[in-house]
Amino acid sequence: MKFMSAQLATLMHGGGRRSNIRLLVRFLVLLTAVITLYSLLFHVLMMHEGQQHSWVTGFYWTLTVMSTLGFGDITFSGDAGRVFSIIVLLSGVIFLMVMLPFTFIRFFYAPWLEAQNRARAPRVLPQGIRGHVVVTRFNNEAANLIERLVQLGIPSVVLVPELGEALDLFDRGYRVMIGDLNHPDTYRNLRVHEAALVVVLNDDFAATNIIHTVRETCDHVPTVVNADHDDSVDILQLAGSSHVFQFHRILGQALARRVLGVDLRANVIGRMDELLIAEVPAMATVLPGQTLIQSRLRERSGVNVVGVWEQGVFRLPTPQTTIEPTSVLVLAGSAAQLDRFEELERAPDHPQRQRGPVLILGGGRVGRAVADSLEQRGIDYRIVEKRAMPGGGGAKVIVGSAADRATLVEAGIERTPSIIITTHEDDLNVYLAIYCRRLRPDAQIISRATLNRNVKTLHRAGANLVMSYSSITTATIVNLLRPGSLIMLSESLSVFTATVDQRLHGRTLADLRLRPETGCSVIAIKRDGAMVVNPDPAAGLQRGEELVLVGDAEAMGRFLARYPSAGPKAPR
């Protein structure tokens, strides 16, 4: 009864719905009148034939005939009664089988269903939500971003213009709001002036209009937009966007930074104030064959080994971890400590220059961004592209299929230290990873992934390192919400900060046992405005200090679940 009362109250709310209810009531009154009239005529005709029936029987006969049930237990013997039966039957088909269902659906069920849909996909953001992130287009990047925001406790809402898409996203567990992307009232209903960020992942033309509309409503909310084309960067900034990124270029630069084996120089892949994170191939050092405790790296150079890549799998090290020739060490330390490491650990016979050009498979936007980054570092490369690139591309572009051995040989696959696969089709990337691994078992293979679910598949196919467009986008945006507090080092590895709260105050890192119990490692402490890199595990923690931790997504989740008050907070 409570449910029915709530639904009736919903239906009665609003002038349009009340009008529909009145029409439905009028139809039901007319139908009742017709049934009553037929029942009276039934008695008259039955009396004419000499039969006597009760009033209940009259209504019973009328309803069975009108509904076409026609049990046949009560019948007329004369033609007049039979003609009357035909009239009742035909009118029943019209009233009960055509008009009643249509009227019920049109004036009762459809408004009820619309009310339910509006509750699932509202046009006004519910009260109590603030500091939220507004996403104006749902795609793979948005899904990955929202997943990370949930982990960080930051509310989000997806704005969609179509009801069908809104309902689908609601059923998948997302908070949605329906509205016109280019109408100022939409963003007022979103309470954009209380939002932490507006993320625009639409195409350049639509994004320009959205940003301009947001600025009509609110001039202070931060906005971030992706520019597909170089020419759009200035236009999007003129439209009022706070941050304009080209995520394909960021991905290309991140892939290029992962090129190893070119020289021993520590490859810095992330930084947080004075803290640097670098990847170094073990084959270029004197470390292979030693365990970490035997190497005494922290004692001799001050660097901390926070992780080890082994054939595409990241592992947290232990003192007994053996460094293999194929290992890639993830080091944390200051610039001076990394320089000291390079001075002490360089293998005397390691070549100081590359043997051949780096191969870039795919000459799209990401591939060209990789090439630009390598060019700036003075690293030779060759782009393998199936179609001729605009302007020709010069001698560094090899036109042909990356699945053709002759083309790869011409590009220098037999001498290359690294192969970077940059196409946007994951199926093709898996295919090329398998093929290149067969041709060059000893080369480093770096691949792009479009969908996160294909990252492990690419690793199994032979890629040493995989980075996804979605994760690059997410890391960049989250860092805007918490500047300097999150760095994505790879697809599965991040550096993040956490504040020392009451539960952590006065305890030591050794007491906390964070590495064995959460999988995270503390690599620095922000204390009194200074960064203490690789802190003493016996030092006590003070309230208000910030821990700098490294770990994969699962380890980060375990830490935040264990210390929710110390973890990242939603922006205010």
The predicted structure's pLDDT at residue 352: 42
Tens-digit pLDDT profile for residues 463-473: 888 888 888 89
If one counts every other C-beta atom within 10 angstroms of the C-beta of residue 437, the result is: 17
Whether 433 shows a pLDDT value over 60: the answer reads yes
Q: Examine residue 315 and state whether it is found in any structural domain, yes or no.
A: yes
How many Å apart are CA 89 and CA 144, to the nearest integer?
60
pLDDT attached to residue 312: 60
Give the separation between CA 333 and CA 300, rounded to whole angstroms: 13
Rounded Cα–Cα distance for residues 69 and 98 (Å): 16
User: Total domain count for the chain?
Assistant: 5
Q: Is the pLDDT of residue 500 over 80?
A: yes
Given this model, what pLDDT does residue 349 score?
57
Query: 497 and 460, same structural domain?
Result: no
Provide the phi-psi class of 124: left if phi over 0, else alpha when psi is between -120 and 50, else beta. beta
pLDDT of residue 359: 96
Rounded average pLDDT over 451-455: 85
pLDDT tier at 569, thresholds 50, 70, 90: very low
| Sheet containing 521-527: order of strands | 486-488, 493-499, 546-552, 521-527, 530-533
pLDDT digits (tens, 9 = 90+) for 148-170: 888 778 999 999 998 888 888 98
Rg (CA), the chain: 35
Find tokens 């930084």 and name the residue. 271
User: Cα separation of 141 and 250, whole Å?
Assistant: 14
Mean pLDDT along residues 482-490: 64
**Which range, 76-85, 145-154, 166-175, 207-216, has the best average confidence (pLDDT)?**
207-216
Q: How confident is the model at residue 494 (pLDDT cuts 50, 70, 90)?
A: confident
pLDDT number for residue 2: 42
What is the pLDDT averaged over residues 131-158?
91
Confidence band, pLDDT 50/70/90 cuts, at residue 114: low
113, pLDDT greater than 80:
no
Task: Tell whether 250 is covered by a domain.
Answer: no
Q: Can you name the residues that pair with 40 across neighbouring β-strands? A: none
Within this chain, do residues 426 and 536 fall inside the same structural domain, yes or no? no
So what's the pLDDT on residue 517? 85
pLDDT of 237 over the 90 cut: yes
Residue 484 forms part of a structural domain? no
* Mean pLDDT confidence for 272-298: 85
For residue 159, being part of any structural domain is answered with yes
Q: For position 158, what pLDDT does the model report?
A: 95
Residue 115 and residue 139 in one domain: no
Range among 288-302, 311-325, 349-363, 543-557 with highest mean pLDDT value: 288-302
Q: Whole-angstrom Cα distance, residue 538 to residue 172?
A: 47
Does one domain contain both 141 and 223? yes
**Helices 247-257 + 365-376 axis angle, to 10:** 50
Instruction: Examine the domain organization and report whether 229 and 314 are in the same domain.
Output: no
Does residue 466 sit in the same domain as residue 556?
Answer: no
Residues 504 and 556 in one domain: yes
| Same domain, yes or no: 114 and 143 | no
pLDDT computed for residue 182 by the predictor: 92
Q: Which pLDDT score is estimated for 171?
A: 86
pLDDT value, residue 351? 45
Q: Which residue has the higher pLDDT, 266 or 429?
A: 429
Domain of 530: which CATH number?
3.30.70.1450
The yes-or-no verdict on residue 316 having pLDDT over 90 is no
In this predicted model, what pLDDT tens digit does every residue of 545-555 receive, in sequence order? 888 888 877 78
DSSP state of 283: G
Compute the mean pLDDT over every residue in the chain, rounded to the nearest whole number: 84
Residue 361's beta-bridge partner residues?
Answer: 384, 421
**427 is in which domain, residue-wise?**
358-470
Last-in-domain residue among 120, 142, 169:
120
- Last residue within a domain, chosen from 201, 219, 245: 245
pLDDT band at 192 (very low <50, low <70, confident <90, very high): very high
The pLDDT of residue 3 is above 60: no
- Range with the lowest mean pLDDT among 2-11, 245-254, 275-284? 2-11
**CATH code of the domain containing 150:** 3.40.50.720
Domain assignment present for residue 476? The answer is no
Domain CATH for 55: 1.10.287.70
The DSSP result for 391-437, as a single string, is T--GGGEEES-TT-HHHHHHHTTTT-SEEEE--S-HHHHHHHHHHHH
What pLDDT score was predicted for residue 8? 46
Q: Does any domain span residue 475?
A: no
Kindly tell me if the per-residue pLDDT of 512 is higher than 90. Answer: no
Res. 535: pLDDT tops 80: yes
- The answer to whether residues 169 and 205 belong to one domain is yes
User: For the residues 14-25, what does the mean pLDDT come to?
Assistant: 66
pLDDT-above-70 percentage for the chain: 87
Does 111 reside within a domain?
yes
Digit-coded pLDDT (tens) for 386-410: 887 766 567 799 999 999 999 999 9
Same domain, 395 and 320: no
Q: What pLDDT score does 155 carry?
A: 93
The reply to whether 273 and 305 lie within a common domain is: yes
0.85 surpassed by pTM = no
In a domain, 478, yes or no: no
pLDDT classification of 128: cutoffs 50, 70, 90: confident
pLDDT score of 6: 46
427 and 496 in a common domain: no
pLDDT at 1: 44
Q: How many whole angstroms separate alpha carbon 57 and alpha carbon 49?
A: 16
